Amino acid sequence: MVEIDPYSGFCNGVVRAIDKAEAYLAGHSHLYSLGAIVHNTDEIRRLEEKGLRIINSSDMEHLAGETVLVRAHGEPPATYALAARMGITLIDCTCPVVLKLQERIEKAYRECDATGGTVVIFGKRGHAEVNGLVGRTEGHALVIEDIAEISKIDFSRHIERFSQTTKDPDQYQALCEACMARTSDITIHNTICHTVAERHRRLAEFASSHDVILFVSGRDSSNGKVLEALCRQYNPRTYWVENVDMLDKGWLEGAASIGICGATSTPRWQLEQLAAGISQCGQVDLQ
């Protein structure tokens, strides 16, 4: 039996960004995307064939009058200022959840700036979403990647604690508890996306219910790394593939049930393609 996790695949923010990109490209020869619209090589290749062109912020200096898509991860205020200066039209696809978080962090930063507090963000340094969040603090927020970095926090000051929207809820809780053990002068903000948090819970159940798990994701996906590790925690026979071409039939030996799942950056068509590829092996039937 092969089962595709019904909750895997693009999150709403990614779906919205891709829909807007395809709608624009239906009537135009090209569209610039500020960074990869999704961390998935095959999906990016599909969109590039339609006319999507990936750029970075420095490229905007040479794109006066063009149209540029802001992906779901969001951007710092400097990007919007540059676009206005260059006469660039932005198709802003910042995820509403991320946008709300940006606004909350900016408000907290203004309050901390006046009182001597600190904004601390649990996230991956250099990640597009985190860059946008830090930008709302004029670059002053402290980014902590894991509990091992807790010593970097100045606990003598008031702390406003936030998380990147796609981080592991359990890891964030552990980090918050460690902070609260050191100070009572801290405000904890629950900013992990509800959909992402629910996906963690459901994926743990899904991984536990199959003999083998095939996790589909691009190698550059931060969310993919978190969710693949979660699957492996609950099922040691978890294998990470980027597409059906990476499938190793040896992984399936002795497996009566195979679960296929993926990151928020994994398109549904890739999950279905992998399921079809397994069925063609003749070892199991597609549920």
- Nearest alpha carbon to residue 34 among 91, 97, 81, 84: 91
Active site residue 149: no
Neighbours of 68 (CB within 10 A): 24
CA-based R_g, the chain, Å? 21
CA atoms in the 13 A half-sphere facing the CB of 283 = 16
Q: Kind and range of the H or E element at 168?
A: none
**Helical axes 169-180 vs 194-208, angle rounded to 10°:** 120
- In whole angstroms, give the CA distance from residue 15 to residue 170: 26
- Nearest alpha carbon to residue 30 among 60, 46, 53: 53
Name the active-site residue from 43, 66, 75, 129. 129
- In whole angstroms, give the CA distance from residue 6 to residue 131: 31
Cβ atoms of 139 and 125 closer than 8 Å: no
Q: Which residues are catalytic?
A: 129
